Amino acid sequence: MNIIEFFSNNQRYKNYQLDTDIDLYKMYLSDIINLKSSNTDKFLDCGCGTGNVLRNLDDRENNYGIDVSEFFIEELKNDGYNVTNYEGGDLPYPGGFFGIVGSFTVLEHVEHPDFFIQEQIRVLKTGGYLIVACPNFLSVFNNVRSYSLFFKFKSLFYQYIKKSTKFIKMDPIIREADEFLPDDDAIVLTNPIQLRNFLKKENVLIVRYSGFMSKSGFVYDLFSRLPVIRHLLPSCYFVCRKVK
C-alpha cells in the first residue's frame, strides 16, 4: 500500500478530519465568502477531504471539491456535492473556470506542490483569488518533525537570501496500523518564505499573508502579519490575486 492509499483509507485519519473543529476553517471560509465577486462565482476546494468546508457553504451548485480519497468523494457525491476524485496531474477543469481556488492544509501532502499550485492558477479566471493555507514546519512553534532551531533559522535564512522557489521534500511518518497523528502524512517542508518566493515567480499578486491560518482576534491577527515575525509563526496563509 502506498502512502496515499494508507492515509486515505485510514479510519483514524477519517475520524480526525471529521472531528476537526470548524473554528479552524473560519478565516478560510470567511475569505471564500467575502472574495466572491457574485453569487454565481465558482469556488474550488482542492483537497476537500470529508467536506468540512463545502458543508459550511450555502451554495452547492457553485462550490466544487477534489480529493485523493475515493471514499470521501463518494460520500460527498451521495450528499449532492460537485466533487471529483483527483489522483494528481491536470485539474479536471478548463482554464479560467473559477473565481476562487483554495487549499487548506493540503499543499504539504502533495507529490508535486509546484505543479499543484500552477494548476490552481490555471483554472482561476483573471482577477480571481488563490488561497493557500498550510503549516510552517520551520516555525519556532512547530515540533512535528523535531527540527532544531538552528536548522529552522538556517533554512529560513538560506531561502530568504537565495530567493529559493524549490519545495523541499521530507519523509512521512508511518506508525502502527490504524495509528495517526496530524501531519504524519506531510511530505513537503512548507514554509512562508519559500512559498512567497514561488508565488511571486508565478506572477500572482500577494494580497495578504499571515502566520496564522485561523481567526484568533484582532491583536493576534495584527501580530501575525508583521514582517519577520510572521515567518516564525505556526502557519502559512496566503491570499493572492491572478492579475494576468
- Per-residue pLDDT of 190-236, as tens digits, reads 999 999 999 999 989 999 999 999 877 777 777 787 888 899 999 99
pLDDT band at 3 (very low <50, low <70, confident <90, very high): very low
pLDDT given at position 145 = 87
Mean pLDDT, residues 89-111 taken together? 96
- Name the burial class of residue 130, with classes exposed (0-12), middle (13-18) and buried (19+) by CB atoms within 10 angstroms of its CB: buried
Alpha-carbon distance of 201 to 197, in angstroms, equals 6
- Whether the pLDDT of residue 93 is over 50: the answer is yes
Of the two residues 17 and 77, the one the predictor is more confident about is 77
- Name the burial class of residue 90, with classes exposed (0-12), middle (13-18) and buried (19+) by CB atoms within 10 angstroms of its CB: exposed
Alpha-carbon distance of 18 to 171, in angstroms, equals 25
- Whether the pLDDT of residue 96 is over 90: the answer is yes
Closest CA to 203 of 144, 244, 153: 244
Residues in the chain: 244
- Whether the pLDDT of residue 116 is over 90: the answer is yes
Which residue do the cell numbers 480519497 mark?
69
Q: Which of 8-17, 82-91, 116-125, 141-150 has the highest mean pLDDT?
A: 116-125
pLDDT given at position 220 = 73
Alpha-carbon distance of 122 to 91, in angstroms, equals 9
CB distance 138 to 155 below 8 Å: yes
pLDDT band at 12 (very low <50, low <70, confident <90, very high): low
Helix (H, G, I), strand (E, B) or coil at 234: coil
Q: What average pLDDT does the structure give for the chain?
A: 88
Closest CA to 235 of 69, 103, 105, 68: 105
Local structure of residue 100 (DSSP, 8 states): E
Alpha-carbon distance of 81 to 91, in angstroms, equals 17
Alpha-carbon distance of 120 to 7, in angstroms, equals 23
pLDDT given at position 177 = 59
**Residues 3-242, CATH architecture:** 3-Layer(aba) Sandwich (3.40)
Alpha-carbon distance of 142 to 160, in angstroms, equals 19
Helix (H, G, I), strand (E, B) or coil at 99: strand
- Per-residue pLDDT of 157-197, as tens digits, reads 999 999 999 999 999 887 765 566 778 889 999 999 999 99
- Per-residue pLDDT of 26-47, as tens digits, reads 999 999 999 988 778 999 999 9
- Whether the pLDDT of residue 14 is over 60: the answer is no
- Whether the pLDDT of residue 114 is over 80: the answer is yes
pLDDT given at position 2 = 45
| One-character DSSP codes across 164-213 | --PPPB------STT---TTTT--B---HHHHHHHHHHTTEEEEEEES-S
Alpha-carbon distance of 60 to 42, in angstroms, equals 10
CB distance 210 to 134 below 8 Å: no
